[in-house]
Amino acid sequence: MNTQVGIIGGGPSGLCLARLLSLAGIESVILERQAREYVEARIRAGILEQGMADLMRKAGVGARMDKEGLLHDGIVLTFDGREERIDMAALTGGKQVMVYGQTELTKDLYDAVLKDENITVVFQAGHVHPVGFFEGEPRLEYVKDGKHQVVSCDFIAGCDGYHGASRAAVPRDRLVEYERIYPFGWLGLLSDTPPVHEELIYANHKRGFALCSMRSHTRSRYYIQVGLDQKVEDWSDERFWDEIRRRLPEHIAGKMVTGPSIEKSIAPLRSFVTEPMRFGKMFLVGDAAHIVPPTGAKGLNLAASDMYYLSTALIAHYKEGREDLLDRYSETALRRVWAAVRFSWWFTSIMHKFNEDPIEHKIQLAELDYLMSSTAGKTTIAENYVGLPFDPTFE
Ligand code: RFL
Ligand code: PHB
């Protein structure tokens, strides 16, 4: 098989990139390790910045998102028995975020991609291996139904997440990896119960962090910080509900509607960046190149700027014969990546319990008290939460 852009991974990054390219007449082949149903069922992101929502619209898949997504103007922080709202829209000149689950977004993307004549998707592609990208002859080797296959292409986009094959195929001496693993994880629970509040609540508590999020007016997503030794089986629904209520101010906990879980899982927290994000004719996009702890809701939103920059650069290459944007991809993408890595790390560090030392909690409370007393303090949270802009010179 021959194509213009060979894409490894049919998650949100690979699918949205393929659509953006297709609308400019560029063909691609997506190799996805799993079946469609598996990819669509993964419960992950819930919050889209305006940049990601705009990209979905640009990719021609924004209609259901605009109909069913919930626009939020603010978030609530609770700490020390206090409840403080950050009016993000007022502090950022009207910017909002959209509540729309990654499961729904992925369904919308697959509906469009599978009808798109410029895009071929191979599901259950095994042993995917990118080769020849440093030598100017990029190819994707893989196994399908027991048969060895090859896709020859002009470029490879590695959109295959943290555990993917693209980054793994780069010799260790050609990249640098920066990593921090946090000493806790998030236990998440999804339930068909109305959210406890109309906006998200991020709670700092001496028992540990908690987050009240949602997918719709009737479906809630809650998280609590748990130790790395914890197992999902140790957490009955009842134990989860008891624990999250203890971490919230009483008047909020008292309103919480509980019910059976639809899904429960534990995610570890990690900050991770690969430099560079280009290796000859192969480009890394999204989680394949970087991971942030979910506290700032930034993971998918960072993939969005990568997709935007890479699609813009590839379109300039095919339409105008330009190489300059491809040459600037890695540096430009990484600048926004590091900004989000910094915010996610910082927001994680002021909201979570890191150890039993009481001075740590007191210092967090002093920092939160200061931030809430200062317009500059609230604005720094608001600006980062709604998302830093894409580089306007990248065109
Ligand atoms: P994905 O979603 O991991 O997709 C990669 C795809 O590649 C496939 N694949 C392979 N295919 C072929 N060959 C191989 N060798 C392959 N290896 C892997 C996989 O099957 C998969 O289909 O990466 P992508 O597309 O870059 O998307 C990134 C996002 O999924 C991720 O950043 C977000 O989910 C992170 N995230 C959040 N991001 C936000 O912007 N806002 C949020 O509110 C938010 N909340 C979250 C999150 C992530 C979480 N977890 C579980 C990590 C909440 C949680 C709990
Ligand atoms: C979610 O709804 O899954 C979610 C929301 C906000 C975050 C992380 C996850 O910061």
pLDDT at 41: 86
- 212-253 tens-digit pLDDT: 999 999 999 999 999 999 999 999 999 999 999 999 999 999
- 132-180 tens-digit pLDDT: 999 999 999 999 999 999 999 999 999 999 999 999 999 999 999 999 9
- 8-27 tens-digit pLDDT: 999 999 999 999 999 999 99
pLDDT at 291: 98
pLDDT at 97: 98
Counting from 1 in the atom list of ligand 2, the atom nearest the Cα of 43 is 3
Residue 237 inside a domain? The answer is no
Catalytic residues: 72, 202, 294, 298, 385
pTM as predicted: 0.97
CA 43 to ligand 1 centroid distance, Å = 10
Residue 85 inside a domain? The answer is no
pLDDT at 247: 98
User: Can you tell me the mean pLDDT for 348-362?
Assistant: 97
Q: How many domains does the chain have?
A: 1
Residue 256 inside a domain? The answer is no
Counting from 1 in the atom list of ligand 2, the atom nearest the Cα of 44 is 3
Q: What confidence category does residue 42 fall into, taking pLDDT thresholds of 50, 70 and 90?
A: confident
- 98-132 tens-digit pLDDT: 999 999 999 999 999 999 999 999 999 999 999 99
* Ligand 2 touching residue 295 (CB < 6 A): yes
Residue 288 inside a domain? The answer is yes
User: Can you tell me the mean pLDDT for 369-393?
Assistant: 98
Residue 223 inside a domain? The answer is no
Range of the domain at 20: 5-50+63-70+100-178+269-353
Residue 131 inside a domain? The answer is yes
pLDDT above 90 for 317: yes
Residue 253 inside a domain? The answer is no
User: Can you tell me the mean pLDDT for 312-331?
Assistant: 98
pLDDT above 90 for 345: yes
- Could you give the C-alpha distances from 121 to 11, 240, 364, in angstroms and in order? 12, 39, 48
Residue 88 inside a domain? The answer is no
* 76, 100, 221: residue to mutate for ligand 2 pocket, most atoms within 8 A of CB: 221
- 269-282 tens-digit pLDDT: 999 999 999 999 99
The mean predicted confidence, pLDDT, of the chain is 97
pLDDT above 90 for 43: no
Could you give the CA distance from residue 149 to residue 5 in angstroms, rounded to a whole number?
16
* Ramachandran assignment for 344, one of left (phi > 0), alpha (psi -120 to 50 degrees), beta (any other): alpha
pLDDT at 356: 94
Which residues does residue 70 pair with via DSSP β-bridges, in sequence order? 99
> Residue 343's domain is classified under what CATH number?
3.50.50.60
pLDDT above 90 for 45: no
Counting from 1 in the atom list of ligand 2, the atom nearest the Cα of 47 is 5
* Ligand 2 touching residue 46 (CB < 6 A): yes
SS3 163: coil
| Residues ≥6 apart with Cβ < 8 Å to 78 | 84, 201, 202, 203, 204, 205, 248, 249, 252
Q: Where are the beta strands (DSSP E) in 80-146?
A: 82-87, 97-99, 119-122, 126-131, 139-144
